[in-house]
Amino acid sequence: MITCRLKLPNVSSEIVVSFVYAVNCRYRRRELWQDICQMAISSCTANTPWLLLGDFNQSLDPADASTGSSRITAGMNEFRQCLSQADISDLPYRGNHFTWWNKQEENPIAKKIDRVLANDKWRTSFPLSYSNFGEPEFSDHSPSCVHLGILAQGKKSPFKFSNFLLHHSGFLGVVADAWRDMHFQGTSMFILSKKLKLLKRTIKSFSRENYSDLERRVSEASKILISCQNNFLMAPSPQLAALEKIAHSKWLELAIAEERFLAQRARISWLAHGDCNSSFFHKMVASRRAGNQIHYLIDPSGRRIETQEDIAAHCVDFYTSLLGGNTQPLDQSDIDLISSFVPFKCTEEVRSLLSTAVTPDKIKAEIFSLPLNKSPGPDGYSSEFLKASWNIIGQEVTTAILEFFSSGQILK
């Protein structure tokens, strides 16, 4: 293993990269596993993005071999323990799963023994990075290439409501004042859509004033708290105790807000409560972002499409071709044909139930049955916001929905 500290153009922080070429002997590889674990806790990689890549000469899972075995070998266990202790794992990858084959025609065997591994600091520093395993060409190994996937600067992200704002004591009051001061003319749906759109400005302004640059403010509040605690412990007094309580309250408010923000971004629904799980949520946010990223697509001609603009255009063209075109209205023969495939018909009782008038109570019940911690709708508002602000916006939401069921019309 050769480890280098690198400074790349257009990347502000230094990175550490370890290149591995493991021996073809399980017992001698134990020295490498020990070296990796030592490197993970050394000052070289402390709080630094660290990448570990190369030929490890050891698979990690039975699925990493084409032989179809389901047995976890002792070598796999040793490799797994090494990665767990060093707290590193596979970078998201594209291309070939198997990275080596034995070059034998009669008994061909392929395995994944080449990997690109990264620590948590790497994932938070380069959340869109991924590795690509290409074609071996002259070698019996696939080459591995790492793409940093640096975020494009200046790209405006759509509005997404942050649920932690609901825990601020003054938030709903600000929403109520803004909602009451907005006046529009038109249909109920039009008025609702305009007010929700204009309300985003108020929410963004409130968020900037109270929680802008949240991660930095949490760090600063923590330093102030530590300073107050040290001052009190060196010379206890009522005045210093009061300052410590104020500093602790401010830090706790910001720290909890950060955790709730990251928990929402991470979409972890099985963890209800925790003790400042920010680092865990950071990891899950980076993992989700990396997994959701489309790094490239292949068009029907085999051409590789890589830029975000070309990927977006290709997706639009594909679905336009798939779903677009002129459609003719159905005639009676079409309806009869469809009916022959679907002979089921509702009973009179079910028909009556389906045509029952929608009531405000039913609308509220549906809104409050929406699951928590899910992706917001196209307008960016979460179900948590709708429920928490129902006393403010509920009447106009209900009126707009009732208007749809009475008119059969809906805004674009």
Average pLDDT over every residue of 72-97: 91
Whole-Å CA distances, 404 to 181, 191, 358, 384, 397 = 25, 13, 10, 23, 11
Give the global pTM. Answer: 0.52
User: 83-92, 119-128, 156-165: which has the highest mean pLDDT?
Assistant: 83-92
pLDDT per position as a tens digit, 343-380: 888 899 999 988 888 999 999 999 999 988 787 888 88
pLDDT of residue 105 exceeding 70, the answer is: yes
pLDDT of residue 104: 84
Structure tokens at 152: 């494009």
Residue 363 and residue 394: Cα distance in Å, rounded?
Answer: 10
Q: Say what the alpha-carbon torsion angle 167, 173, 177, 179 is, to the nearest 10 degrees.
A: 40
Give the chain's count of helices (H) and strands (E): 14, 12
User: Per mean pLDDT, which range of 67-71, 118-122, 175-179, 232-236 is the poorest?
Assistant: 67-71
Element at 218 (helix H, strand E): helix 214-234
pLDDT of residue 392: 96
Burial annotation 100-120 (CB, 10 A radius, 16+ → b, else e): beeeeeeeeebbbbbbbbbbb
Q: How confident is the model at residue 34 (pLDDT cuts 50, 70, 90)?
A: very high
pLDDT of residue 260: 67
Output DSSP code: residue 50.
E
Q: Which CATH number fits domain 2-147: 3.60.10.10, 3.60.20.10, 3.30.590.10, 3.40.50.720?
A: 3.60.10.10
Residue 237 and residue 253: Cα distance in Å, rounded?
Answer: 24
pLDDT per position as a tens digit, 309-344: 888 899 998 888 888 766 677 889 988 898 888 888
- Greater pLDDT, 214 or 135: 135
Beta pairing, strands 114-118 & 89-90 = antiparallel
pLDDT of residue 6 exceeding 80, the answer is: yes
pLDDT per position as a tens digit, 136-181: 888 889 999 998 876 555 567 788 888 888 888 899 999 999 999 9
Q: Which residues pair with 89 in a beta bridge?
A: 118
% of the chain beyond a pLDDT of 90: 41
What distance, in Å, lies between the first and last C-alpha atoms of the chain?
A: 59
SS3 32: helix
Counted residue by residue, the chain has a size of 412
Residue 118 and residue 112: Cα distance in Å, rounded?
Answer: 17
- Greater pLDDT, 113 or 339: 113
Structure tokens at 123: 């994932």
pLDDT of residue 208: 85
Q: Say what the alpha-carbon torsion angle 271, 266, 61, 85 is, to the nearest 10 degrees.
A: -70
% of the chain beyond a pLDDT of 70: 90
Q: Which of 201, 197, 220, 203 is nearest to 168 (CA)?
A: 203
Structure tokens at 274: 């925790």
pLDDT of residue 262: 65
pLDDT of residue 270: 45
- Greater pLDDT, 92 or 293: 92
Q: Quickly tell me which residue has 């594909």 as its tokens.
A: 318
Beta pairing, strands 50-55 & 15-21 = parallel
Residue 126 and residue 295: Cα distance in Å, rounded?
Answer: 14
pLDDT of residue 278: 53
| CA 305, 311, 314, 318 torsion-angle sign | positive
